Amino acid sequence: MAAGTLVLSGAASPLAYAQGSDEIRVGVVGCGGRGSGAAHDCVNSSPGVKIVALADSFEDRLGGLKKDFNVQDDRCFVGLDSYKKLMALDDINMVILATPPGFRPPQFAEAIRRGKHVFMEKPVAVCPAGAKMVIEASELATQKGLGVVAGTQRRHQTEYVETMKRIHDGAIGDLVSAQCYWNMGGLWVSERQPGQSDVDWQIRNWLYFTWLSGDHICEQHVHNIDVINWAFKDVQPESVYAVGGRQYRTDPKYGNIFDHFGVEFSYPGDVRTISTCRQIEGTANNVSERVVGTKGWSDCCGTIVGENAWRYRGPRANSYVQEHTDLIKSIRDGKPLNEGKQIAESTLCAIMGRESAYSRQQFTRSWFMNRCTLNLVPADDLKLSDAMPVPAVAIPGQYQLPGFVREGQRGRG
Amino acid sequence: MSSQTNNTSGTNGGALAGAAATAAVLGQMAYAQGSDRIKVGMLGCGGRGRGAMQNCLDADPAVEIIAVADLFERQVKSARDGLMRREQNKDRVKINDDHMFWGFDCHEKLAACEADLLLMATAPAFRGRQLMAAVKAGKHVFTEKPIATDVAGCKEVMAASKLAQEKGLAIVAGTQRRHQGSYVATMQRIHDGAIGELVGGQCYWYGGGIWFKGAEKDMTELQWQCHNWYHFTWLSGDQICEQHIHNIDVMNWCFHGPPKKIMAVGGRQWRDSNAEQVNTAKEVCRQFNNGSEAGWEKYNGDIWDHIYAELEYPNGARCLSFSGHSPGTQRVSERIVGTKGTSDCHNSIRGQNAWVYQGKDIDPMVQEHINLIASIRSGKPLNEGQRVAESTLTAIGARMAAGTGQVVNWDWLMNECKQSLVPSQAELMAGKPLYHPIATGRDPLV
C-alpha cells in the first residue's frame, strides 16, 4: 500500500520539472570541502538551481556555503541527525550527500523515503550491510521516479564515455585482463584537540577510520574500480583475493586504516585484474586504469591501441560539473538517471578488497553479499559526545571477518 | 675447524683457470664413456641440501658423494651419517673425515677438493661467492634457488655464469619447473603461439607461514642468524625471493626474459603479532644480551609478510606477482593470458588451441639432476646461471619497488643500482651479526 502511494507522489514531480520552469531546490548534507565543491558545481551546472538548506555534524562547517548562497538560519541544521531535519523540508526536491561515507546508507535511504532526488558522493557505504541498504533504496528511487547520480565523475567525463562506448562495442575484443591504480601520497589530517570526544574527533578526522571512510581503497580507489566494472558492463567480479597493510603511516592520528592494498578481482570467465592503492607520501604516483582485450588495449579515457586504434580528440568538459548537468537534465526530461545500484556495487567491490586484505582470505562475492554479517552502519542514536575507542588495526590471523568460516572448518559449521 | 683441508694446492690465480678448464673438458670426455663416477660435493646440509644430495644420487648411478660442507659441524656430520645409513646409497657415499668442511669459509675448502660437481643449498646470501669459487676451481654446479639476496649477488652470479660458459662448465638451478615435463611441454606450446600474443598473467606463492628457529646454546649471534636465515632479508632475500622466485621464473620463462619495469606494494602486518615467534625472539634476545629482553624486536627478523607486485614485460603485458605468508590461506600457481587463450603453464591450455598434457613426469627435483648430468656427459653443459640470476633479480626488484614505493626499471637494476646487503667474507669471518631495519615502504632507492 505504502509503496504504491509513494510511486504516485514521486511520479508527479518529474512532470513538473518537465515544464522547464521549476526550480531545483537543493539541500546540502555534509558541508566540508567536497560538499561545498559539489554545491557550487551543481549550481553552476544548470539554470534554476538553488542551494536552500544546509546540514552538517558541525556548526563551524556551515559557514562557507551559508554565506555563498545566503541560506537562512532556520534552514541550517547541525548535529548527527541534522540530515533528517533537512530532508523533512517539503520545498527541497534534491539533496547533495557529502558526509563521511559511513553515514551514506541511512542518509540516502532517508532522502529516497522523503522523495528527494540525490547527488551523492562516492563511496556510498563502508560495509556490505550499508551497500545493501543503498541498493534497496535505489530500487525504491526507481519506483518513485527519482534521479540518483554518484560522484564517480568519470562516468560523466566525455573521453571516458566515448572510449567506453567503443570498448563495449568490441573495439578491443573480449576483455582478458585489466589494471587500475590509485597510488599517491597522503591527505589532510585533523589532529585531536584537547577535550574532544572520541566520536567528534573521529568524524572530523574521518578519512582514517574504517567505519567512516571505508579505508582509502573504498574512499579513493573506488573511482578506478568503478571504471573497471564499467568496462565489464557492470557485471561484477565473482571473487577477490587481496593483501594490504599499514607499513609507513603508523601514527595513531591516522586511525586504523591501512596505507596500501593489492587486490585481485576475478570477473566471470576467470578474467583476473590487478588493483592497487597506496597513500604514502613521497612514493610513485599512478592514478589510472587500463583494460586489455583480445584485439588491443585501452586506457579507458581517450586511447585505444591495437586493431581499432583510436584517440579521442573532442572537447573536454569539467566532469565534476557535468555529472550535475546530466542529473538535472535527466530529472527535467522525466527520465531520471539512477546510478544507485551501480555505485553501490562498485563500492561493494572496494569493501570486498579491503576485507580480503584485512583477513588475507579469498572469498566469493556471493558469500560476501549473502553470508558476511559485517555491519558498520552507525547506530541511529550515535552522539557526537560519545566515547568510542579507535578500532584495532586489522592483523591477518587475528582479524575476524564476521560470518567467515575457513575452508577446513566448514564441516564443523 | 679442519686443518686437514689444505690438501689441495691453492685455487687462486689466472694461470689455474686455464688448467681447470682443461680438467673440465677432460671430465666431460670421461663421463661420455658412461662408466666413470661423478664425484659430488655438497655445500649446505640443511633439509634442502640433504634432499638435493638424495635427488642427485637417485638421478644417476655414477654419482658418488665425496664431500660435505656446512656452516655447522654437527650438520655436516649428521648429513653424512644420514646418507650413509640409507641402504639405497650403499657404496655411493664415501665421505672421508678430511672431506668434511665447516665454517664461513667452508665453500673455499670444498671448492679445493677433487669433486667434479658441487651441489649448493646454503642460505642464498652467499651463493655468488660460492659459485665463483666453484667455477674458478673448475667444478660443475647444481645450485638451489634463489642465487642471491641483493643486486650485487645477482651480478656476481652473472659473472660466474659467464666464466662457466667460457670454461665449459655446467650450472643448473633448482627452479625445477624448468625440468618438469608437463611445464616444458606446455611452455613449448605457449612459445609456439598456442595462446596468441601474451598480454597478461598471474603468479602466486602465498602460504601459511614458516619456521622460526631459536638459538642453540653454543651458537654465536651471527651463527644463529644464519640458522634462522629465512627471517633476515640479507640472508634469504625475503619470501618473494626465497619461494616466489619459482613462479616469477615461470613468468619470465613465458616472456623469454625479465620484465622491463616493476611496481609493488607490501609490508609486514602480522609477523610481530605472532606470539610463538615473538616468544622465541625474546628467548634469543636473552641469550645474547645477558638475560635482558630489551630490544628483542631486532631478533624477530626483518622480512615482510606480503608483496603485491606488477611485472611489466617488454611487450607491455602487465602481470601480477602475489606473494606472502599469513595463517590459514594458500595459493601457489601460475597463469598466463594470451589473445587466443590462457594456460596454467603446467599442463593445460584453454581457448582456441585447447590442450591437456597427457605425459607422465618423474620427480622434477630428480629430473633436474638427470638433465644436468646428461648435459655434462654430452659435452654440452647446461648453463642456467644467467637465467636464474635474472629471475632472482626480478624478485629482488619487486621487493625494492615495494620497500621504496618507487617504480623499479630493469635497466636501472642492471646498470645503476648499488644495493649490497651481504657482509664481505672478511666481515663474516670476523663473526659480527648484521641487522638491517625493516623496510618502511618508502626507503630511499639506492
| CA-to-CA dists, residue B338 to A10, A13, B350, angstroms | 51, 52, 10
Nearest to A276 by CA among A221, A238, A226, A239: A221
Q: Which chain A positions have a beta carbon within 8 Å of B318's beta carbon?
A: 177, 179, 274, 290, 292
Which of B273, B342, B440 has the CB atom closest to A247's CB atom? B440
| B274 shares contact with chain A (CB less than 8 Å) | yes
Q: Looking at residue A406, what is its pLDDT?
A: 64
| B342 shares contact with chain A (CB less than 8 Å) | yes
Which of A259, A292, A394 has the CB atom closest to B199's CB atom? A292
The pair phi, psi for residue B408, each rounded to 5°, is -110, 125
Which of B196, B273, B331 has the CB atom closest to A395's CB atom? B273
What radius of gyration, in Å, describes the C-alpha atoms of chain A?
Answer: 21
Q: Looking at residue B277, what is its pLDDT?
A: 97
Q: Which chain B positions have a beta carbon within 8 Å of A175's beta carbon?
A: none
Task: Dump pLDDT digits (tens) for B35-56.
Answer: 589 999 999 999 999 999 999 9
With beta carbons less than 8 A apart as the criterion, state whether A248 and A266 touch. no
Q: Are the beta carbons of B329 and A361 separated by less than 8 Å? A: yes
| B257 shares contact with chain A (CB less than 8 Å) | no
Q: Are the beta carbons of B441 and A248 separated by less than 8 Å? A: yes
**Residue with the three cell numbers 664431500:** B67
Residue B444's Cβ-count burial label (10 Å; 0-12, 13-18, 19+) is exposed
> Is the pLDDT score of B15 beyond 50?
no
Q: Which run of H or E residues covers position B430?
A: helix B425-430
Q: How many Å lie between the alpha carbon of A259 and the closest alpha carbon of chain B?
A: 10
Q: Looking at residue A405, what is its pLDDT?
A: 77
What DSSP string describes A94-158? EEEE-S-GGGHHHHHHHHHHTT-EEEE-S---SSHHHHHHHHHHHHHHHHHT--EEES-GGGG-H
Q: Average pLDDT over chain B, rounded to whole?
A: 92
Q: Looking at residue B35, what is its pLDDT?
A: 52
> Is the pLDDT score of B3 beyond 70?
no
Task: Dump pLDDT digits (tens) for B399-425.
Answer: 999 999 999 999 999 999 999 999 999
Task: Dump pLDDT digits (tens) for B256-280.
Answer: 999 999 999 999 999 999 999 999 9
Q: Which chain B positions have a beta carbon within 8 Å of A272's beta carbon?
A: 200, 202, 320, 335
Which of B270, B310, B337 has the CB atom closest to A397's CB atom? B270
Q: How many Å lie between the alpha carbon of A243 and the closest alpha carbon of chain B?
A: 7
Q: Are the beta carbons of A243 and B268 separated by less than 8 Å? A: no
Task: Dump pLDDT digits (tens) for A42-64.
Answer: 999 999 999 999 999 999 999 89
Q: How many Å lie between the alpha carbon of B263 and the closest alpha carbon of chain A?
A: 9
Nearest to A100 by CA among A198, A219, A2: A219
Q: Where are the beta strands (DSSP E) in B211-359?
A: 261-267, 306-312, 318-325, 331-338, 341-343, 348-351, 355-356
Q: Which chain A positions have a beta carbon within 8 Å of B306's beta carbon?
A: 243-245, 262, 360
| Whole-number Å distance between alpha carbons of B198 and B312 | 12
| B407 shares contact with chain A (CB less than 8 Å) | yes
* Residue B272: closest C-alpha in chain A: A395
| Whole-number Å distance between alpha carbons of A386 and A209 | 16
Span B278-290, average pLDDT: 98
Ramachandran class of A186: left when φ > 0, alpha when ψ lies in -120 to 50, beta otherwise: beta
Q: Looking at residue B266, what is its pLDDT?
A: 98
Which of A245, A282, A406 has the CB atom closest to B267's CB atom? A245
Residues 6+ apart with CB under 8 A from B150: B234, B237, B396, B419, B420, B421, B422
Span B184-199, average pLDDT: 98
Disruptive mutation site among B195, B197, B442 for chain A (greatest number of A CBs within 10 Å): B442
Which is more confident, B90 or B252?
B252
Beta bridge partners of A296: A306
What DSSP string describes B374-385? HHHHTT---B-H
| Whole-number Å distance between alpha carbons of B229 and B238 | 10
Q: Looking at residue B1, what is its pLDDT?
A: 34
> Is the pLDDT score of B30 beyond 60?
no
Residue B55's Cβ-count burial label (10 Å; 0-12, 13-18, 19+) is buried
Q: How many Å lie between the alpha carbon of B320 and the closest alpha carbon of chain A?
A: 7
Cell of A214: 571505508
Q: Looking at residue B17, what is its pLDDT?
A: 39
* Residue B442: closest C-alpha in chain A: A283
The answer, as to whether pTM is greater than 0.90, is yes
| Whole-number Å distance between alpha carbons of A324 and A339 | 13
HEC string of A178-211 equals EEEEEEECCCCCCCCCCCCCHHHHHHHCHHHCHH
Q: Looking at residue B411, what is its pLDDT?
A: 98
With beta carbons less than 8 A apart as the criterion, state whether B125 and B106 touch. no
Q: Are the beta carbons of A395 and B340 separated by less than 8 Å? A: no
Q: Looking at residue B36, what is its pLDDT?
A: 81
| Whole-number Å distance between alpha carbons of A262 and B310 | 10
Residue A281's CB is within 10 A of a number of other CB atoms, namely 13
Q: Looking at residue B302, what is its pLDDT?
A: 98
Note if the bond before B437 is cis, omega within 30 degrees.
no
Residue B412's CB is within 10 A of a number of other CB atoms, namely 15
Q: Looking at residue A407, what is its pLDDT?
A: 54
Strands B117-120 and B38-43: parallel
Which of A243, A282, A283 has the CB atom closest to B306's CB atom? A243
Q: Are the beta carbons of A396 and B327 separated by less than 8 Å? A: yes
Q: Which chain A positions have a beta carbon within 8 Å of B270's beta carbon?
A: 360, 395-398
| B404 shares contact with chain A (CB less than 8 Å) | yes
Mean pLDDT, contiguous 10-residue spans, chain A (413 residues):
41 44 90 96 97 97 95 97 98 97 98 98 98 98 98 97 98 98 96 97 98 98 98 98 98 98 98 98 98 98 98 95 97 97 98 98 96 96 97 95 69 34
What DSSP string describes A24-75? EEEEEE--SHHHHHHHHHHHHHSTTEEEEEEEESSGGGTHHHHHHHT--GGG
Q: Are the beta carbons of A173 and B316 separated by less than 8 Å? A: no
Which of A176, A179, A398 has the CB atom closest to B337's CB atom? A176
Which one-letter DSSP state was computed for residue B93? B
Strands A117-120 and B63-70: unpaired
Disruptive mutation site among B269, B306, B318, B332 for chain A (greatest number of A CBs within 10 Å): B269
Task: Dump pLDDT digits (tens) for B294-340.
Answer: 999 999 999 999 999 999 999 999 999 999 999 989 999 999 999 99
Q: Are the beta carbons of A176 and B404 separated by less than 8 Å? A: no
* Residue A175: closest C-alpha in chain B: B339
Q: Which chain A positions have a beta carbon within 8 Å of B342's beta carbon?
A: 176, 270
> Is the pLDDT score of B19 beyond 80?
no
Q: Looking at residue A404, what is its pLDDT?
A: 87
